[in-house]
Chain A
């Protein structure tokens, strides 16, 4: 059973801005769920509406089966970590952690015992008596986490929990966060604009744009098979190559290359259809000689080489525009030389009208009659 069930959720702000547009979403119990998207896509509004900080214009939110759409935030049994952590500066760490229990008028001894447990869980013991201003950014973030979980909420909501940390600390905090979520097993929804963070942490990701979910899936699905051009362009730390082309005789003419139409969609696309061919730089192999005489490779002149650490990103200027390809460390070409980028089998995706062309697959989704093919 889903722990969070959202149906037809719409949020229109007083100015007429439609932040959420008839949105449906199910989050399973114990799931670590990411809301990902560029700023203004509605991801934070969705999180805040689940928390009850924003009231829904339309639609319903059910937490653990009970309708909470009209409940005030204090009665929804959710814990939340804000982007700025929102620690009270005038009280010490232990009092900050114990704050939700104090509001609920828990006995003093009980609330300090539970606050100490939460502090221990997050490695904050020994910092009890300090004020938030005396803590590092990472410690403040952990205090905020401890405060959010001290009352043992049913749902855990995180608004950009790692964005205020510096790059190095962020990786450390990311691992710690994933470990914590595994340990507690509490249903967690977090908002991020950082696709790498979402891919690394989440069990499932909802990629949002303009108040709608553009793709819902596991990190692997979202990375390997972006459902549309928006997701394809958004996901991946090195952007996907998206090249316009035309289908002819079971092959695609794109950027001077002729690629075979992928097996699973062969016959789905009539001849003469304009498509966009998408292939990640990681799924291209660089070659200094044209590997395939039939032209199954993108040719061009090496123009830019960007070092990524363990690998390099090579930009080839070809006739269809620049193509980027990831090259292993030590085998980078010289700028100005000719080169070819050869797609690995099964890694080329075709987009028609902005949507991924998928196999009709009647066995997989018999109830959907016109899904994705219109």
Chain B
């Protein structure tokens, strides 16, 4: 019997086909049977909650109290409240700092730099660096959050011991800086691997042409490397921005505090919806977050498409 390969192949063209006509030789009925469990799971755990969130956003539903048992339809009031909320504005601004600082600049630049420096190296040093960077990426968030709290702690913290600054409360004095640095450390592995693969695809003769012409590192990157890996850069930026925008791990370190000074968007939703119990209000924020994600994705996809169109013309 043919193994169930890609189930989506069977859903593709709607033209009716005889059993066994498709690549896997299954026919419609059996193909549908293979796909059905996955579709049911997706519907129950993804589609329904999403639609439910849309509905919640239009009610005053709360976790407890009268509104919990008898939610009322409030129309677009929640959205008006969110957009007028000072906490929301602050959270949006902090999220922007978090995404630009840790993902777009931090992870991308650091990841590329490591990949560039390691491009010609083989052996122990390379494996060691890559292993350590990867370790930060694959460890569970709760574990590394615990490690970072231990690192940054005011009283027995490792960082204070290293710097000789006893009593500095990093998480209270510089909460945003802490989570930005934390996220750079945590997520650089992805950019490093992606750029490592991309740089490996630049023909050595192109880099050598630049060397022979006497190009500086910056000139080499500008003329020989970056034009060649532009697609990789955009893909990496898209994924890293979205992941960072939706990242909840900083909550495990600062819990959004002190006093909301590190309350990025995902933490803000959590606090309002589950902490304060305002589920309707939280659902409205969630929808706005989804829209922002879509805008980010569209911007990058547009940039990618321009590039492929240019490449097609060339």
- Chain A residues, CB < 8 A from B219: 103
Of the stretches A71-79, A183-191, A195-203, A244-252, the one at the interface is: A71-79
Query: CB-CB contacts of A62-83 with B at 8 A, as 1s and 0s?
Result: 0000000000111100111011
* A53 B203 Cβ-Cβ under 8 A: no
Q: How many residues of B contact A (CB 8 A)?
A: 17
- Chain B residues, CB < 8 A from A78: 212
* B203 A86 Cβ-Cβ under 8 A: yes
- Among B203, B212, B224, B314, which residue has its beta carbon within 8 angstroms of that of A74? B212
Q: A241 vs B208: C-alpha distance in the bound complex, in angstroms?
A: 42
* A75 B223 Cβ-Cβ under 8 A: no
Across the two chains, which residue of chain A brings its CB closest to B214?
A: A74
Per the 8 Å Cβ criterion, residues 68-125 of A in contact with B are: 72-75, 78-80, 82-86, 88-91, 99-100, 102-104
The number of inter-chain residue pairs (CB within 8 angstroms) is 67
Q: B165 near A: Cβ within 8 Å?
A: no
* B314 A90 Cβ-Cβ under 8 A: yes
Q: B30 near A: Cβ within 8 Å?
A: no
Q: A169 vs B212: C-alpha distance in the bound complex, in angstroms?
A: 28
Q: How far is the CB of A84 from chain B (nearest CB, A)?
A: 5
- Chain A residues, CB < 8 A from B228: 89-90
- Chain A residues, CB < 8 A from B314: 89-90, 131, 133-134
* B227 A104 Cβ-Cβ under 8 A: no
- Chain B residues, CB < 8 A from A90: 227-228, 314
Q: A91 vs B219: C-alpha distance in the bound complex, in angstroms?
A: 15
Across the two chains, which residue of chain A brings its CB closest to B215?
A: A103
Q: How far is the CB of A111 from chain B (nearest CB, A)?
A: 12
Q: A74 vs B207: C-alpha distance in the bound complex, in angstroms?
A: 12
Q: A51 vs B214: C-alpha distance in the bound complex, in angstroms?
A: 12
Per the 8 Å Cβ criterion, residues 130-150 of A in contact with B are: 131, 133-134, 147
Q: A88 vs B207: C-alpha distance in the bound complex, in angstroms?
A: 10
Query: CB-CB contacts of B192-216 with A at 8 A, as 1s and 0s?
Result: 0000000000010110111111110
* A88 B212 Cβ-Cβ under 8 A: no
Given contacts A72-B214, A89-B314, A133-B314, 8 further A-B contacts (CB under 8 A): A74-B211, A74-B214, A80-B209, A86-B203, A89-B228, A99-B209, A99-B213, A134-B314
Q: A91 vs B314: C-alpha distance in the bound complex, in angstroms?
A: 9
> A90-B227, A90-B314, A131-B314 are known contacts. Are A74 and B215 too (CB-CB below 8 A)?
yes
Q: How far is the CB of B183 from chain A (nearest CB, A)?
A: 33
Across the two chains, which residue of chain B brings its CB closest to A132?
A: B314
Interface centre among B206, B212, B219 (most CB of A within 10 A): B212
Secondary structure call for the B interface: helix
- Among A73, A80, A131, which residue has its beta carbon within 8 angstroms of that of B214? A73
Sort chain A's interface into a size bin: 20 to 34
Q: A52 vs B212: C-alpha distance in the bound complex, in angstroms?
A: 8
- Chain B residues, CB < 8 A from A89: 227-228, 314
- Chain A residues, CB < 8 A from B214: 72-75, 100, 103-104
* A86 B213 Cβ-Cβ under 8 A: no
* B211 A73 Cβ-Cβ under 8 A: yes
8 tightest Cβ-Cβ pairs between the two chains A and B: A74-B214, A86-B205, A82-B205, A100-B213, A103-B213, A90-B227, A131-B314, A86-B209
Q: A329 vs B223: C-alpha distance in the bound complex, in angstroms?
A: 55
Query: CB-CB contacts of A195-223 with B at 8 A, as 1s and 0s?
Result: 00000000000000000000000000000
Q: A82 vs B211: C-alpha distance in the bound complex, in angstroms?
A: 13
- Chain A residues, CB < 8 A from B208: 53, 73, 80, 82, 86
Per the 8 Å Cβ criterion, residues 209-255 of B in contact with A are: 209-215, 219, 223-224, 227-228
- Chain B residues, CB < 8 A from A151: 213
Across the two chains, which residue of chain A brings its CB closest to B122?
A: A14
- 11 A-B pairs (CB sep. < 8 Å): A73-B208, A79-B212, A84-B203, A84-B205, A86-B203, A86-B205, A89-B314, A99-B209, A100-B212, A100-B213, A103-B215
Interface centre among B203, B205, B209 (most CB of A within 10 A): B209
Q: A73 vs B212: C-alpha distance in the bound complex, in angstroms?
A: 5
Query: CB-CB contacts of A145-185 with B at 8 A, as 1s and 0s?
Result: 00100010000000000000000000000000000000000
- Chain A residues, CB < 8 A from B213: 74, 99-100, 103-104, 151
- Chain B residues, CB < 8 A from A104: 213-214
Interface centre among A72, A82, A133, A134 (most CB of B within 10 A): A82
Q: How far is the CB of B51 from chain A (nearest CB, A)?
A: 45
Across the two chains, which residue of chain B brings its CB closest to A104?
A: B214
- Among B212, B215, B227, which residue has its beta carbon within 8 angstroms of that of A51? B212
Across the two chains, which residue of chain A brings its CB closest to B310?
A: A90
Interface centre among B206, B213, B223, B314 (most CB of A within 10 A): B213
- Chain B residues, CB < 8 A from A52: 211-212
Interface centre among B205, B219, B224, B228 (most CB of A within 10 A): B205
Q: How far is the CB of B297 from chain A (nearest CB, A)?
A: 25
> A82-B205, A133-B314 are known contacts. Are A88 and B223 too (CB-CB below 8 A)?
yes
